[in-house]
A and B are shown apart, each in its own frame.
Chain A
Amino acid sequence: MSRPTLFALQVLVAVVCIVLWQVLSTVPVFGKILLPPFFFSNPLDVFSQIVKWFVSGVIWKHLGITLAESILAFVIGSLGGVLVGFWFARQPLVAAVFDPYVKMVNALPRVVLAPIFALWLGLGIWSKVALGVTLVFFIVFFNVYQGVKEVSRTVLDNGRMLGMSERQLMQHVYWPSALSWMFSSLHTSVGFAVVGAVVGEYLGSAAGLGYLIQQAEGVFDVAGVFAGMFVLSAFVILIDYGVTLVERRLLVWRPTASDGRG
């Protein structure tokens, strides 16, 4: 299928959904409105709410804060994940000792940590960053750990036979291998950084997209809730697109799925 056709079809899905929503929430069917405005609002109201946010400029502050929290969570979580992942992979004893604890903490639903972080770090951005970090860290950690452990035996032996020292093996073999695993999880970890930020804001904050949605919910402003969700989705899609661009640059050496060699 050509790209324009595909794009047209994708747009068509959105148009059909929005038109259905608008019609069902405003035009009575057999004397009854199927989507009562109190629960479902309608696309026009939601759209005008979004326009209002952007025209008045209030949204930028909230977007900026959510973006800052996501980036900080991603950077700190990734850094920690890479360092600890490397450490554990190179020191099997350490990995074995900490294994049950890592599993325990990872099994914990991070939402329950939000109040604790709010208590420790206050209602500012750092409690949200902390929540994001706990999510991002484990994804990156597991991937880097795997990446270092699963370096091909032959490639390692080849490095040794070519005369690489331990440090050179690190630089030319372990590191690129771990990075490739980390980048393969880039979409997930960036997504989770945003989730951490928004959930944290939702549970207690004074700014950010999560805060905006939570405020609208508090006054039963359904249009505001939907508007917040749409802005959030668009925000995540933009970030994801950015990630794709970065990935394409960094992983040129990897066969793509379409090569049939995965």
Chain B
Amino acid sequence: MSTPTAVALEDAKVAFRLGDGRVYTAVEKAHLAVAQGEFVAIVGPTGCGKSTLLNVAAGLLKPAAGSVSIFDRPLAGLNREAGYLFQADALFPWKTALDNVAIGLEIKGTPRSEALPRAQQWLTSVGLGAFANRYPHMLSGGQRKRVALAQVLIRDPKILLMDEPFGPLDAQTRQVMGNLLLDLWSADRKAVLFVTHDLEEAIALADRVVIMSAGPSSRIIGDWKVTLPRPRDIFEVRLDKEFHALHREIWSVLKDEVMKGYAQSTQAAEAV
């Protein structure tokens, strides 16, 4: 096997110091490798620290122990190879859709006259060619996600980190966005680390599904290969027999963790 490893977390541990001086361990000994061109989805119950793990891969958080390597080089500071798609709205509200996409290039020093036409092309490829002059607040949630996707992809990062990017969207829009993502991804197959709490979404999109246990001190407790053929259509793939078998298998493991996570969050609420 000679495919290089795009993201490698080795025994990564993430801990936070709480306000009262105690230390809260979010993630314990996470071991995860994403090969170049591989689409990996991380699924886990709410509060299991899956977004935390993603932030470690992005360099936004430093692991308390263990190491992070990007293309076999230890990560120091922010991960410059990665594009990050946030769960919350992260577009610059004072820029038009076009400027929001172009900024990714302008930062690198691309002249504006060159950045704008390319931004327009990207807007067109996410289906928003006619919305270039809209400001984010004039776009729907799904349209904002499309702009955000174009904003990240125009920089052509080698790695895509996605933190429940379609979480705030309604079910139908999510599926449409999922198909759009697969379309764009199949063009050059970047390494993708996709965090979601939706197991169906994970199986439909990914090559591998990784399951995390309920927090605190959550660990990676399962790793499944998804061998459904590509190109996939998210609407169709959900009807596939193999999809169902895999879903049942993973869910049998995930279910316990979801229940644990739920119990913990309700206990915590009662304690307050």
Contact = CB atoms under 8 A, between A and B. Distances in A.
**Is B truly associated with A?**
yes
Interface of A: 152, 154-155, 157-164, 168, 172-173, 176-177, 180, 252-255, 259, 261
Main secondary structure of the interface of A (DSSP, over half): helix
Nearest to B86: A154
Contact of B60 (A152, A160, A180, A255): A160
Given A255-B137, A261-B137, 17 more contacts: A152-B88, A155-B90, A155-B91, A157-B60, A157-B90, A158-B84, A158-B90, A158-B91, A161-B60, A161-B79, A162-B103, A162-B104, A162-B107, A162-B151, A163-B155, A254-B135, A254-B137
From B78, B94, B104, residue with most partner A Cβ within 10 Å: B94
29 contacts: A152-B90, A154-B86, A155-B90, A155-B93, A157-B90, A158-B90, A158-B92, A160-B60, A161-B60, A161-B79, A161-B84, A162-B103, A162-B155, A164-B107, A168-B107, A172-B95, A173-B92, A176-B92, A176-B94, A180-B94, A252-B135, A253-B93, A253-B95, A253-B96, A253-B135, A253-B137, A254-B93, A254-B135, A259-B137
Contacts of B83: 161
Interface of B: 58, 60, 78-80, 82-84, 86, 88-96, 103-104, 107-108, 135-138, 151-152, 155
A211 to B, nearest CB: 42
Contacts of B107: 162-164, 168
B72 to A, nearest CB: 21
A47 B169 CA distance: 62
Contacts of B60: 157, 160-161
B contact face: mostly helix, strand, loop, or mixed: loop
Contacts of A163: 80, 104, 107-108, 155
B186 to A, nearest CB: 23
B95 A157 contact: no
Nearest to A175: B94
B155 A155 contact: no
A161 B151 CA distance: 11
B191 to A, nearest CB: 16
A160 B108 CA distance: 12
Contact of A161 (B58, B91, B93): B58
A174 B83 CA distance: 21
B152 to A, nearest CB: 8
A162 B138 CA distance: 23
Which of A157, A176, A177 neighbours the largest number of chain B CB atoms within 10 Å of its CB?
A157
A154 B94 contact: no
Contacts of A173: 92
A8 B200 CA distance: 61
Nearest to A168: B107
Contact of A154 (B90, B104, B108): B90
- In this complex, the member of B80, B92, B104 whose beta carbon has the largest number of chain A beta carbons within 10 angstroms is B92
Contacts of A168: 107
A261 to B, nearest CB: 7
A158 to B, nearest CB: 4
A164 B58 CA distance: 14
